[in-house]
Structure 1
Amino acid sequence: MVLTPASKQKRRPRKSAEGNREQVPGLGSRLAAAKLLSAIVDRRASMDGLLDPQNGNPAWRALSEQDRSLVRAILQAALRNLPIIDAFIDLLVARPLPEGAVALRHTLRIAAAQILFLDIPAHAAVNIAVEMARGDPRNRRFVALVNALLRQMIRQKDEELPRLQSRVINAPAWLGELIESAYPEHASAIFEAHRHPPAIDLTVKSDSESWAARLGGRVTPTGSVRLGHVDGPITDLEGFADGEWWVQDVAASIPARLFGEISGWRVADLCAAPGGKTAQLALAGASVTALDFSANRLKRLDENLKRLKLDAECVHADLFEWQPGEAFDAVLLDAPCSSTGTIRRHPDIPWTKSPSDVAKLADLQERMLARALTLVRPGGMVVFSNCSLAKEEGEDVVSAILESHPKVDRRAVESALIPGLEDAISPEGDLRTTPDMLPDPDPAYAGLDGFFASILMRLS
């Protein structure tokens, strides 16, 4: 079928008594979704920032709670599958959409996300997309194209969608190249994992089996409790108010475990907020100093520790200027990174980050790690970690430090500390998890964040 834009439109927008176009049910939420998608893809705005309840985008803040849930679902479906959606759209047009028709493509993307990936009546998605085009002076001449293309998409969905999913690299070019280069043997499995939202993992203070039974979850090999489906707010679940557990991805819980037995140690947690790793260290019996550059994030960490009934000294300071009075036995540096290992829970990352971000953050990490090594006593231990899939931000940083610091050595990760993830230990002895690990037939229970961690020892 050949689809081309209509040069003229016979049908005019319907008018209400006040002279304004009538509001079609659901139109406002889809307009907001298209505006937010544009902000993410075209201006690299963070989805978390846009959807902040107090300071987010005005279009988001104006929505009802019900519409916010819908818009969030549409955005996540669109971002998780954007290359597939674009390939389907391009398949159905006789010639490429005009380069300047950015708003038109976003309208089609929002509709396609509903048709292809959400349990929303397809005819409703089409009708609302048509109204979106009709109400936008830039897109009115494309109303017929929007209607015909989306109806054709519905008819071809069952045949074409599986083919596109198997053929299209589901990532922007820069990220696709990064993953295929770093993980050639299972890049396709990583791309597939990114299409699915993550499970909710809990780190519990004690008795994982009991809490899994109470909350209807499963115990992972590492001892976390995994919840595949949660109805309602996490904060309403049993045990939250009493501080019996906190939300923490399985992979994020590993770096603090790599120290082994630390009861009685003095440990610094650098870049500590929101505090999951700080809580692990305190629960293990360490005397913890939690450092963070952000006062607001540190306040959140302190609130989390109070709920969990755990203690740590909270310090608001710049790592490069901080001068503690005494060297530590151990330091945990979970460094700022491109966060490409967390795409399952932050599907905007492929569209808001770039190779220049990776290079810039890798340089910062190397400087932070060098500084962290000065904070431990001779014989002390530093665990360096981050949630990036880029080896430039992990393995390369450690290699550079080992080359420039002759009195620092690497200590291999012990497999006994990460049961079920022994394959995540690299030949060099570092930890490297990827989102396709911990497979399960049900995607709701599969996977974990991509993480890197290395243990470095300051030699006597």
Structure 2
Amino acid sequence: MNAQSANPRAAAVQLLKRVLQKHQLLEEVLDPTLKGLTPRDRALARAIVSTTIRHLGIIDTLIEMMLDRPLPEKAVDVRHIVRIGITQILYLKIPSHAAVHDTVKLVPDGSKHKGLVNALLRRIDREGEDMLQTIDIPRRNTPDWLWTAWEDQYGAETARKIALAHLDEAALDISVKGSPENWAERLEAEILPTGSLRRKSGGSPADLPGFEAGEWWVQDSSAALPAMLFGDIEGKLILDLCAAPGGKTAQLVTAGAHVTALDRSKSRIKRLEENLQRLKLSATLVVADAEIYTPPETPDGILLDAPCSSTGTLRRHPDVAYLKSAADVEKLGALQARLLDAASRQLKPGGILVYSVCSLQGAEGEQQIAALLARDQSLERRGIEPNEIGGATELITSDGDLRCLPFHLGGMDGFYAARLVKITSG
């Protein structure tokens, strides 16, 4: 490995290129890109790239403010270098002499841009904090397609609160098999009203007590709510569609249900199987397409955690804002509708269908269920009561559905869920 490829700042630039130019998920390219770096350098590269993407709109606004004319399109590497330099100075608080010196070194000797990068970063060091005060941070840090959709659905004030919440890294939320009170003490975590545990992010979950023993799993507090909407499922047959990686499957099994967990991806089912093995839980695992699957026995309940744009996960995955688009929401919406129709066909009269998505987009949530109920008279909504979710009334919509926003309960993934009952066999 040459010196440049072993450089954590160079690795951060490569990661930005893979995410923003090649449109690859950061989570999927981290390990191969950082291979060979020391643990300390891996941590630095990861912090630089994730923080840069989290604040990308603000960082690019600062660059625009400092330049008399835009950088040439061909100078995309130079833009990435300036981006990571700004991140180190303003957000990671790395001493400016190291941040500037080591970042400027990434520009090839002889490049006409070397002096420019040096000048821009030194100006950020002097004036960056003052420049931040002049920027509408929530608006400039949110891509237009998302901001427009959120304003239309939630109003300007709530859209701004959503965008502000995305500036903060998510905490570590945990679901436990046993007593939350006992594990809250052992894990130095607080118990949320909904029953999840929460501790500050940082470190590897695998190093915490109880992980290897399979006593708990990482699961955002909002993602833990849909499986709770079935009520008492002891001994009942529950079909978990699009089940991987298995957090909701684990909840259903722990609650005493006989669970069939289905996913169309063999690799994702393998991951689900490994997670259940660690937790010492068992379910029937099926690799199949949920659109055409016919269960051998009609289930008492179906959980459809549908594929979606994942815009509710921007606190954990800020790259989603730049990898997805309104066209993706439309395409996924069509898939969600087909999956809902299939789930309705698979469900017995009196059975419960819980639909959920980790999306903030109404087209994947509220509008999806309204359209389903309009075309499928065999289903009706069963509203969610506050006591089912720890009294968190702010999470329940006027229609009785679940709508979690990133600023709710001290910070949680954006999530939507609806509970429907099969009232006829039609």
**TM class, shorter-chain normalised?**
over 0.9
The alpha-carbon deviation at position 132 of structure 1 amounts to: 1.6
Pairing partner for 2:60 from 69, 82, 86: 86
Q: TM-score, normalised by structure 2?
A: 0.95
Tell me, in whole angstroms, the C-alpha distance in 1 between the residues paired with 2:391 and 2:70. 48
Q: Deviations 1:286-323 (Å, cap 9, x if unpaired)?
A: 11111111111112212222222222111111112322
Q: Which residue of 2 aligns with 1:448?
A: 412
- Given the alignment of the two structures, is residue 405 of structure 1 paired with residue 392 of structure 2, yes or no? no
Tell me, in whole angstroms, the C-alpha distance in 1 between the residues paired with 2:103 and 2:324. 29
Tell me, in whole angstroms, the C-alpha distance in 2 between the residues paired with 1:199 and 1:63. 26
The alpha-carbon deviation at position 243 of structure 1 amounts to: 1.5
The alpha-carbon deviation at position 420 of structure 1 amounts to: 4.5
Tell me, in whole angstroms, the C-alpha distance in 2 between the residues paired with 1:420 and 1:226. 18
Q: Which residue of 2 aligns with 1:171?
A: 142
- Given the alignment of the two structures, is residue 102 of structure 1 paired with residue 90 of structure 2, yes or no? no
| 1:27–1:131 Cα contact (<8 Å) kept | no
Query: Within 5 A, what are the aligned runs for 1:369-380?
Result: 369-380=340-351
Change (3 A) 1:420 1:85: farther
The alpha-carbon deviation at position 168 of structure 1 amounts to: 4.3
| 2:314–2:320 Cα contact (<8 Å) kept | yes
- Given the alignment of the two structures, is residue 111 of structure 1 paired with residue 88 of structure 2, yes or no? no
Ranges of 4+ aligned residues in structure 1 off by more than 3 Å: 165-168
| 1:282–1:312 Cα contact (<8 Å) kept | yes
Tell me, in whole angstroms, the C-alpha distance in 2 between the residues paired with 1:229 and 1:48. 17
The alpha-carbon deviation at position 165 of structure 1 amounts to: 5.4
Pairing partner for 2:298 from 327, 332, 349: 327
The alpha-carbon deviation at position 154 of structure 1 amounts to: 0.7
Pairing partner for 1:63 from 37, 40, 44: 37
Tell me, in whole angstroms, the C-alpha distance in 1 between the residues paired with 2:124 and 2:275. 47
The alpha-carbon deviation at position 162 of structure 1 amounts to: 3.4
Tell me, in whole angstroms, the C-alpha distance in 2 between the residues paired with 1:329 and 1:35. 49
SS at structure 1 position matched to 2:244: coil
The alpha-carbon deviation at position 157 of structure 1 amounts to: 2.2
SS at structure 2 position matched to 1:327: coil
| 2:238–2:302 Cα contact (<8 Å) kept | yes
Q: Which residue of 1 aligns with 2:172?
A: 200
1:339 alignment partner AA: S
Q: Which residue of 2 aligns with 1:416?
A: 387
Q: Which residue of 2 aligns with 1:357?
A: 328
Query: Within 5 A, what are the aligned runs for 1:100-249?
Result: 100-135=74-109, 140-164=111-135, 166=137, 168-184=139-155, 185-231=157-203, 233-249=204-220
Change (3 A) 1:193 1:167: closer
Q: Which residue of 1 aligns with 2:28?
A: 49
Pairing partner for 1:39 from 12, 18, 41: 18
SS at structure 2 position matched to 1:325: coil
Q: Which runs of 5+ in 2 are unaligned?
A: none
Tell me, in whole angstroms, the C-alpha distance in 1 between the residues paired with 2:242 and 2:277. 19
1:353 alignment partner AA: K
Q: Which residue of 2 aligns with 1:458?
A: 422
The alpha-carbon deviation at position 70 of structure 1 amounts to: 0.9
Tell me, in whole angstroms, the C-alpha distance in 1 between the residues paired with 2:323 and 2:90. 24
Percent sequence identity over aligned pairs: 45
Tell me, in whole angstroms, the C-alpha distance in 1 between the residues paired with 2:146 and 2:22. 18
- Given the alignment of the two structures, is residue 304 of structure 1 paired with residue 268 of structure 2, yes or no? no
2:414 alignment partner AA: G
1:398 alignment partner AA: I
Tell me, in whole angstroms, the C-alpha distance in 2 between the residues paired with 1:300 and 1:46. 18
Aligned pair count reads 422
Q: TM-score, normalised by structure 1?
A: 0.88
- Given the alignment of the two structures, is residue 259 of structure 1 paired with residue 238 of structure 2, yes or no? no
Please, which moves more after superposition, 78-87 or 316-325?
Answer: 316-325
- Given the alignment of the two structures, is residue 77 of structure 1 paired with residue 30 of structure 2, yes or no? no
Q: Which residue of 2 aligns with 1:19?
A: none
1:205 alignment partner AA: K
| 2:13–2:80 Cα contact (<8 Å) kept | yes
Tell me, in whole angstroms, the C-alpha distance in 2 between the residues paired with 1:31 and 1:252. 35
SS at structure 1 position matched to 2:217: strand
The alpha-carbon deviation at position 48 of structure 1 amounts to: 1.3
Structure 1 or 2, whichever has the larger Rg, is 1
SS at structure 1 position matched to 2:286: strand
2:8 alignment partner AA: S
